[in-house]
């Protein structure tokens, strides 16, 4: 993983420091109006699973299995923000309600750290099967696929803020596991890398948008997280608000550059640009069939979850 450190050095980053963590915020669903959820039985509730496999980083696993489970159910991993919890994201995001309608399973990991941000800084979490948070979350997916006879071709990951950062990390460290990922207000995978190797370290330079690199440098960081992998990678959808004061809007550009580098797209030349899509003052950019960027003018931290659109992107 020394190559990650070398790549970050090319940014000439300022020394990382501990900054105030993001303050609590709501994850609203005011841009979607799903049908009323089915009346749930006592069985259909958020439940903790403690025996899902190796978990050296001590991440907690919670799972929601609806009453009417699809045959070979898809799985969505929904990752909470700093200050959040699995139950908070279960109640504050639309995925459980949508699971009632569509029969998929939702996994809600919960951070083990004070402040409940995710470890997107340590080498262990930024390495395939490295024993960090990403490894624990991947083991949750493997457990659910086996126990519920899930569809391994329909596994998806999404998250908000720190959970969005972890979503990018999951797509980088376990590309074989996910068909698609949706990132709500995050940073590029590897941007929070700690040169001291610390877990759950806050990185001022990245958060403030000072970590800049070429698509090739960013892509190398992704490739180095799983250097022996040469297979397909999940398609990516990246949301960010222009008024984000927690994770600066420049992080949108760097995340787009990262995945353009991975997929071989020219980030300066999107194939399509759609103003006022999917909502007023949002602009949607698309590169090939693997990358969509959605920039929300005037929106802060975080961009509201668009559950119906998420289902369309996941093909559910």
The pair phi, psi for residue 291, each rounded to 5°, is -140, 130
Tell me what pLDDT residue 11 has: 38
Q: Using alpha carbons only, give the angle 122, 128, 130 rounded to the nearest 5 degrees.
A: 50
Is the Cβ–Cβ distance between 173 and 122 less than 8 Å? Answer: no
How do residues 212-224 score in pLDDT, each as one tens digit? Answer: 999 999 999 999 9
Residue with tokens 């915020």: 25
Question: Which of 16, 125, 134, 161 is the catalytic position?
Answer: 161
How do residues 211-257 score in pLDDT, each as one tens digit? Answer: 999 999 999 999 999 999 999 999 999 999 999 999 999 999 999 99
pLDDT band of 196, cuts 50, 70, 90: confident
How do residues 47-60 score in pLDDT, each as one tens digit? Answer: 999 999 999 999 99
Q: Is 162 a catalytic residue?
A: no
Is the Cβ–Cβ distance between 81 and 96 less than 8 Å? Answer: no
Q: What is the pTM of this model?
A: 0.89
How do residues 275-308 score in pLDDT, each as one tens digit? Answer: 999 999 999 999 999 999 999 999 999 899 999 9
């Amino acid at each position: 993983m020394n190559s990650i450190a070398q790549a970050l050095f090319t940014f000439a980053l300022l020394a990382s420091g501990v900054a105030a963590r993001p303050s609590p915020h709501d994850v609203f669903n005011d841009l979607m109006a799903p049908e009323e959820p089915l009346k749930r039985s006592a069985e259909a509730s958020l439940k903790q699973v403690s025996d899902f496999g190796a978990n050296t980083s001590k991440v907690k696993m919670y799972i929601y299995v609806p009453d009417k489970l699809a045959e070979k159910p898809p799985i969505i991993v929904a990752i909470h923000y700093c200050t959040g919890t699995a139950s908070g994201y279960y109640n504050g995001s639309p995925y459980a309600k949508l699971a009632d309608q569509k029969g998929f399973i939702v996994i809600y990991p919960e951070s083990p750290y004070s402040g409940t941000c995710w470890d997107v800084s340590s080498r262990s979490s930024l390495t395939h099967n490295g024993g960090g948070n990403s490894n624990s979350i991947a083991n949750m997916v493997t457990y659910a696929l086996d126990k519920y006879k899930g569809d391994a071709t329909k596994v998806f990951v999404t998250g908000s803020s720190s959970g969005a950062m972890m979503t990018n990390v999951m797509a980088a460290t376990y590309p074989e596991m996910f068909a698609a990922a949706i990132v709500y207000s995050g940073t590029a995978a590897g941007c929070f890398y700690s040169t001291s190797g610390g877990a759950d370290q806050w990185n001022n330079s990245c958060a403030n948008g000072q970590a800049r690199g070429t698509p090739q440098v960013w892509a190398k960081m992704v490739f180095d997280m799983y250097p022996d992998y040469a297979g397909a990678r999940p398609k990516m959808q990246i949301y960010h608000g222009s008024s984000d004061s927690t994770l600066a809007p420049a992080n949108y550009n760097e995340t787009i550059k990262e995945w353009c580098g991975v997929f071989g797209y020219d980030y300066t030349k999107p194939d399509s640009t759609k103003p006022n899509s999917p909502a007023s003052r949002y602009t949607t950019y698309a590169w090939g069939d693997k990358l969509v960027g959605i920039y929300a003018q005037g929106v802060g931290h975080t961009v509201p979850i668009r559950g119906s659109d998420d289902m369309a992107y996941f093909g559910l």
